[in-house]
Amino acid sequence: MKKITFILSITLLTACGGKKTETSATENAQPNKEAASSSSEGSVSNSEASEPQEKMNCGSSRIQVIWDDPDQSGTNIRNSPGGKVIAKINPSDFPDGCMLEIVEASNGWFRIQGTLHGPENDINLPNNEGWIHGSVITTGTRNYGGQRINLLDTPNTGKSVGSINSEAYSLRILDLCGTWVKISYNGMTGWVSSDWLCGSPWTSCS
């Protein structure tokens, strides 16, 4: 009888020990699973972090444009997009138009850098820069020989979404990407190289 009891005790101890070992193995494996999950999330974060790099790859912009505001009360220049007014372009100062340079785009606003140029006088901005809304600036094309200018869906290597086949004026500017400009004209919207644009209201850009 004692022998039978001893055998049963050994069997139970062995079974319990095996179960404990399996449980420990499972618990030890769990942190590895969490580590793998954390590593996966890290990969997603790295991927998302790289997306803004595309905008950075545009490079710097410096595009000449034309001040084109039909409001005779003038155009406000601000210290930031929608910010404090720091200057004003008055029609009396530039009765024959005004040319300026934009270097950055932000949600429909454009940062001006340098001087406001008129045919007879120039005006300096405070600290030589300010922001102007895109609704009051335009540009023209320089395809004076009737060349075809393709509008692309993305800068540089995009697909054609339309074309401008003759000299055009009053192209609205929507965005900048280095030497590429997103414009709206005659119901079309797309990107065009600044080499094809003329931002002078008085002369051609040949």
Q: Which of 133, 55, 144, 142 is nearest to 100 (CA)?
A: 133
Mean pLDDT, rounded, for 101-123:
95
Range with lowest mean pLDDT among 117-121, 138-142, 193-197: 117-121
Mean pLDDT, rounded, for 139-148:
96
Phi/psi for 155 (5° steps) reads -60, 145
pLDDT surpassing 90 at residue 198: yes
What SS3 class is residue 165?
coil
Q: What is the pLDDT of residue 57?
A: 81
pLDDT surpassing 90 at residue 139: yes
159-181 confidence digits (pLDDT tens) = 999 999 999 999 999 999 999 99
Mean pLDDT of the chain: 80
CA distance 85 to 78: 4
Q: What is the pLDDT of residue 206?
A: 77
Q: What is the pLDDT of residue 17?
A: 47
196 DSSP assignment: G
CA distance 90 to 78: 14
Q: Which of 135, 127, 196 is nearest to 165 (CA)?
A: 196
CA distance 67 to 75: 9
C-alpha dihedral over 187, 188, 193, 195, to 10 degrees? Answer: -30
DSSP H helices in 51-142 = 53-56
Q: What is the pLDDT of residue 164?
A: 97
Q: Which residues are registered as beta bridge partners of 129? A: 113
CA distance 34 to 27: 12
Confidence class of residue 43 from pLDDT cuts 50, 70 and 90?
very low
CA distance 116 to 130: 11
H or E element, residue 135: none
Question: What is the share, in percent, of the chain residues with pLDDT greater than 70?
Answer: 73
Range with lowest mean pLDDT among 48-52, 178-182, 196-200: 48-52
pLDDT surpassing 60 at residue 182: yes
Q: Token digits for 160?
A: 């054609």
Mean pLDDT, rounded, for 55-77:
91
Q: What is the pLDDT of residue 9?
A: 45
Mean pLDDT, rounded, for 98-124:
95
CA distance 36 to 29: 11
pLDDT surpassing 50 at residue 149: yes
